[in-house]
Chain A
Amino acid sequence: MGLGFSAADAERWIPRLRRYAFALTGTREGADDLTQDTLERAWRKRALWRPDSDLRAWLFTVMHNVFVNGVRAARPVESLDDERFGVDSGQAQTAANAAESQLALAEIRTAFGRLSNEHREVLSLVGVEQMSYAEAAAVLEVPIGTVMSRLARAREQLRRLLSPEGSAAATPALRRVK
């Protein structure tokens, strides 16, 4: 049996882990730190992975825990300012060429940055990573019902923030994650 998975098996998931980490931390540096911490922790704990289970879900669970513990330990206090989810110019050009989509990107960036960690997590896992509710529940270590209610609240919250009234009311104030 050996060690269950190889370094290459885990590293195959780096882009996806990094995308999730970016959703959680809001900066590329934060994403890279979180991804690296996750890879190292996963590697140290690899004996805990059950070979019959999904490696992606397990790695995301590790990332969730590293992130939550980091927030709990009140590591760097992330400020939800406009710096978050910033893309560098080259990337912005390829991601959104037209002025209209630039604007849309700026809106979602601001709105997504205003969501709570829990809401960003669930939207990323289900909406972006396309995990099943059961998988997301396993990653977040909560019951499926909690995933669904959180998802509903997160979507409604984001909808409100993206509505004309929501974005007008939204001042670019700095808010702190607990």
Chain B
Amino acid sequence: MNEDRLHAYIDGQISEAERLEIEAELSRDPEAAARVNDYQRQNEALHSLLDPILDQPHALGIGARRRIRWQRWGGLAAAIAVGFIGGYLARGDLDLLDGPELDPIARQAMLAHAAYVPEVRHPVEVGASEEQHLLAWLSKRLSTPLRAPSLVDAGYRLLGGRLLPPTNASDPAPMALLMYENTGGHRLSLLIKRESTNSETAFRYAVDRGTCVFYWIDGPLGYALAGDMDREELQRVARLVYKQLNP
């Protein structure tokens, strides 16, 4: 059978008369019929491979360049990016960031990580060259003394930090974000937040699209260490953070 006609038949790009003609030919040509069947199943398989993305949330659009980062850096950010950009910034609707799946501090850490880690030029507000000033400032804003753990043993140096706005109306204190970087340019972020309860918890863990977070409460402060790495690797750094803060 003519190759072009066979494909035109599969793709429905022929007249009704031709279709009947080709079907008659196929009934006499099992080899061609088997190929047609295979090719048709390819199309079905491709739909099952590619179609799921049709319904996935996205933040794309004309003039949406800045929103892409949100999407790239985690499903959490992607899922709420539209709500966040459209709602939170515009209406100040802080509750949009609350969700049932993640503890608030883990969520906040992922959001901050997603927003600031990809920044090439402005990952931090105050650089590590002004570490003392940075910590004095953040300590003042969080109303509690902060320290920046040294992660040199894990290969990460302090890049700097920034103040984060509260993301929850019921917990209106600002938060601090410290960022670290290794020689490969890989970044970790450590979110520090004032806790109302003076308690201690074990390490807890959350993951969303490649971003892992270890978080815990240690006295008046809650910590959440976020990184795009696997659980064991991040856990090692989290232990180091804890050790550094509790020498």
Contacts and interface: CB of A to CB of B under 8 A. Distances in A.
Contact of A128 (B47, B55, B72): B47
A129 to B, nearest CB: 10
B61 interface: yes
A22 interface: yes
A141 interface: no
B60 A123 contact: no
Contacts of B54: 15-16, 18-19
B52 A94 contact: yes
Interface residues of B, number: 35
Interface stretch (B3-11, B145-153, B212-220): B3-11
B4 to A, nearest CB: 5
- In which size bucket is the chain A interface? 35 or more
B21 to A, nearest CB: 19
Main secondary structure of the interface of A (DSSP, over half): helix
Contacts of B56: 28, 91
B65 A123 contact: no
B35 interface: yes
Interface string B4-45: 100110010100000000000000000000010011001101
A10 B68 CA distance: 18
A55 interface: no
Interface of B: 3-4, 7-8, 11, 13, 35, 38-39, 42-43, 45-56, 58, 60-65, 68, 71-72, 75, 209
6 closest A-B pairs by beta carbon, nearest first, are A108-B45, A7-B62, A127-B43, A15-B54, A91-B52, A95-B52
6 contacts: A10-B62, A11-B60, A18-B53, A43-B62, A104-B45, A133-B8
